[in-house]
Amino acid sequence: MKEIEYNNFYWQNELVRLRAMLESDWELHYHNRFDSSARLLLNYEIELPPTTKESIDGTNKYTNFTQTHGRIMFIIETLDGTAVGSVNLNSINERNGTFSIGMVIYCEYRGKGYGTAAMKIILDYAFNQRRLNKYYGSTIQDNIASQTMLQKLGCKKEGVRKEMIYANGKYYDEILFGLTKNEYINFAI
Spell out the domain ranges in the chain: 16-133
Query: If you average pLDDT over residues 57-67, what whole number do you get?
Result: 86
The values of phi and psi at residue 87, to 5°, are: -145, 150
pLDDT tens readout for residues 107-116: 999 999 999 9
25-51 exposure pattern, b = at least 16 Cβ within 10 A, e = fewer: bbebbbebbeeeebbbbbebeeeeebe
Reported as a single tens digit per residue, the pLDDT across 37-53 is 999 988 899 999 999 99
Element holding 137 (H helix, E strand): strand 134-140
Query: Domain 16-133 adopts which CATH fold?
Result: Aminopeptidase (3.40.630)
